[in-house]
Amino acid sequence: MTDFQQQALQLASQQQDSPVWLRPLRGEGAGQWQRAGWPGRRTELWKYTPLQALQRTDFQCWGRAQPQSAGSASLLPLDAIRLVFVNGVFDAQASTAAHPQVVHFSAASEPQRALIEKHLGRIVNTERHLFASLSNAWVQDGVLLHVPRNVILDKPVYIVHVSTPDAEPVIVNQRLLVVLEENAKAELIEHFVSDAQAQNSFVNSLTEVSIGANAELQHYRINLEQEQQIHIGGVHIDLQRDARYRGFTLAEGSQLKRLDFQINHRGAGAHAALNGVYLPRNNQLVDYHTNVEHWAPHCTTSEVFRGIISDSARAVFNGRILIHPHAQKTLAELSNRNLLTSDKAEVDTKPELEIYADDVKCAHGATVSQLDETAMYYLQSRGVSKTQARTMLSFGFINELLQELPRAEVRDYLHHHLAILFGTATDLS
Amino acid sequence: MLEIHNLNARVEGVDILRNLSLSIKPGEVHAIMGPNGAGKSTLGNVLSGRPGYEVTSGEVLFNGKNLLELEIEERAREGLFLAFQYPVEIPGVTNMEFLKASVDARRKHLGMPDLSSFDFMKLARETSKKVSLDPAFLKRGVNEGFSGGEKKRNEIMQMMLLEPSLCILDETDSGLDIDALQVVAAGVNSMRDGKRSFIVVTHYQRLLDYIVPDFVHVLAAGRIVKTGGKDLALELEAKGYAWLDDEGA
């Protein structure tokens, strides 16, 4: 066990407010965390993403329960069921009134508790996801979004995680469980943000999603933290028969940022669409690992990730699609395109396709390129300066994915935020 | 307006233009015709400053300025416009953003105030109608999914918005049906004001029925081998280019 593992475990064991019924999961998580080998350069899942930033930091405590405010972080202007957490601590003032479908684990009703016990820590595969076992070892509270059978949630659920610097470096665990029963429908926005100051926390964030038969989830997961923030996050999704998942994820870089998406097609006819954008700059890193597994026939997957890597930044994209023997008539597509805007920028991209069924249609591809010279010339030939042409083209590269977002408030927010980032802010619409 | 003296240019190490000279006065329309590979498109590309087109010798004066010393965008801001033979698709950058950036740059250069977004959108919508482009195109990516004719009309629309002093049309008629050709020609003709000059590069005489030139030049092997009035185009249409070789031009 490394010092960091020991330290994290010790801190986890200090948390004793957890409901008794979560203790078995905690024990299981602690055991796995203790036994797990620490990832190094030879660990395939962590090959390009060193964890030194974690080991360097002397974490003193978990996010503390002290009254804090959302600070200067800007939130989406959205009519939503909103839950705001600051360094992992629920901020009731910044949140909307309690909603029966969105509850804290500690306040769960008996039937909701049964749901949590059934799904929590069971959708994620801890063998493959080391930091999920740390999350389990810690689990004390979290949020359950539960939409019963045939219910369509009338408002989106907007969960904001604000990071703000603490006196000592802290570890923050975020836990979310989404359970959509048959024919249910919901929209979820997870927004990770920090105030502008240098951050000193490590956010370990785990979201598990169970989408029942013919149910549908529209999901946004947006990581826009300050660059000192360490973030390791995972989204793990089980899709039952004819279930639909549509996801969009966007991440700016930080000194260490790793995001895993695991999608399991468990029932026939399920559909998953996941689009993503990563934008590391300076010396930042973003690592996306996606793993889509088709266990059942007639399911479809569409996945498009685009990255712009600038300055001396680095990105890792590993997109795996695995078609198990029974998953006949699968349709799956994965595309990853990268734009390097500097000679020092780097991307390690690896699309993987593993097929064990014989009647499927799959495609995957990855490209790495620089800005299109012909497009540059075209813009310049109309009087646009080289610098402006560059920013217009970079922004255009990801704007294609932004334009498709169904929720206008998210689209406009990101458009505005990124236009400033790229220096192309205009008010043309 | 434009003075080209003994221009020599090469692409990928191959000499394309050889001692080409041409003089264009304000308000004139010059047609440039010639067989494939004669260097017709190279001329427009060299004048606009396309990367990869290397001028080895010669001089080009544009309104008295040394054109070849200017950056691509400076040439455009000075009033040179090239309508592309193959307009570029730029997904993710909307036509509206693209046009606004272009017009802003040109106006700034001319010392004119920026148009407000509102005024610009109004102007853009009006202009799009003049070339029979649905204003909905303004919200789409630049040339993204446009048909060949729509792309060419978009070029003419940009020309109208930028109000250049010298317009080079590089085979703008290629691939157009007669209706689209008429729209394009009407757009060009509406911009003829006695001061603005045009270089119309074309493969087909047909265009010159609609845009009537003052001069027709035949470009062969990188230089102008014959110059005449608009009737020369009809002669070329009837006889092809081979007879020029026989004349020992």
Condensed to tens digits (0 to 9), the pLDDT of residues B101-144 reads 999 999 999 999 989 999 999 999 999 999 999 999 999 999 99
In a domain, A394, yes or no: no
> What residues of chain B lie within 8 A of the CB of A383, using their CB?
73, 76-77, 101-102, 105-106, 109, 162
Residue A371 distance to chain B (closest CA, Å):
11
pLDDT at residue A429, rounded to an integer: 45
B65-66 and A314-323: which strand pairing?
Answer: unpaired
How many of the other CB atoms lie within 10 Å of CB of B13? 6
In a domain, A123, yes or no: yes
In a domain, A14, yes or no: no
Residues B73, A397: C-beta atoms closer than 8 Å: no
Q: Is A377 on the interface with B (CB under 8 A)?
A: yes
- Residue B145, sorted as left (phi over 0), alpha (psi -120 to 50) or beta, turns out to be left
Range of the domain at A55: 3-8+19-370
Q: Is A386 on the interface with B (CB under 8 A)?
A: yes
Mean pLDDT of chain B: 92
Residues A382, B101: C-beta atoms closer than 8 Å: yes
**pLDDT at position A309 over 50:** yes
Average pLDDT over every residue of B207-214: 93
pLDDT band at A68 (very low <50, low <70, confident <90, very high): low
Tell me the pLDDT tens digit for each residue of B149-206. Answer: 899 999 999 999 999 999 999 999 888 889 889 988 999 999 999 999 999 999 888 8
**pLDDT at position A47 over 50:** yes
Q: What percent of chain A has a predicted confidence (pLDDT) above 90?
A: 69
Average pLDDT over every residue of A366-394: 92
Give CA–CA dist B226/B224, Å, rounded. Answer: 6
Tell me the pLDDT tens digit for each residue of B142-155. Answer: 999 999 989 999 99
pLDDT at residue A63, rounded to an integer: 61
Please tell me the total count of domains within chain A.
1
Q: What is the dihedral of CA B162, B164, B167, B171, to 10 degrees?
A: -10
Give CA–CA dist A34/A416, Å, rounded. Answer: 44
List all residues of chain B from 109 to 148 with a beta carbon under 8 Å from chain A: 109, 117, 120-121, 141-142
Cβ atoms of B65 and A371 within 8 Å: the answer is no
- CB-based contacts of A125, cutoff 8 Å, min separation 6: A132, A236, A262
In a domain, A419, yes or no: no
How distant, in Å, are the alpha carbons of A128, B76, B84 from that of B41? 58, 17, 9
**pLDDT at position A192 over 90:** yes
In a domain, A364, yes or no: yes
In a domain, A405, yes or no: no
H-helix or E-strand containing B40? helix B40-48
> Quick one: closest CA in A to B79, which residue?
A383
3-state class (DSSP) for residue B195: coil
Residues B77, A388: C-beta atoms closer than 8 Å: no
> Quick one: closest CA in A to B93, which residue?
A396
Give CA–CA dist A239/A2, Å, rounded. Answer: 36
In a domain, A401, yes or no: no
**pLDDT at position B98 over 60:** yes
- Phi, psi at B77, each rounded to 5°: -70, -30
Residues B72, A385: C-beta atoms closer than 8 Å: no
Give CA–CA dist A250/A255, Å, rounded. Answer: 16
In a domain, A358, yes or no: yes
Give the one of A378, A386, A427 whose C-beta lies nearest to B88's C-beta: A378
Window from A44-48, B53-57, B166-170 with minimum mean pLDDT: A44-48
> What residues of chain B lie within 8 A of the CB of A398, using their CB?
92
pLDDT at residue A422, rounded to an integer: 79
The size of the A-B interface in CB pairs under 8 A is 94
pLDDT at residue A65, rounded to an integer: 47
> Quick one: closest CA in A to B73, which residue?
A383
> What residues of chain B lie within 8 A of the CB of A426, using their CB?
97, 100, 117
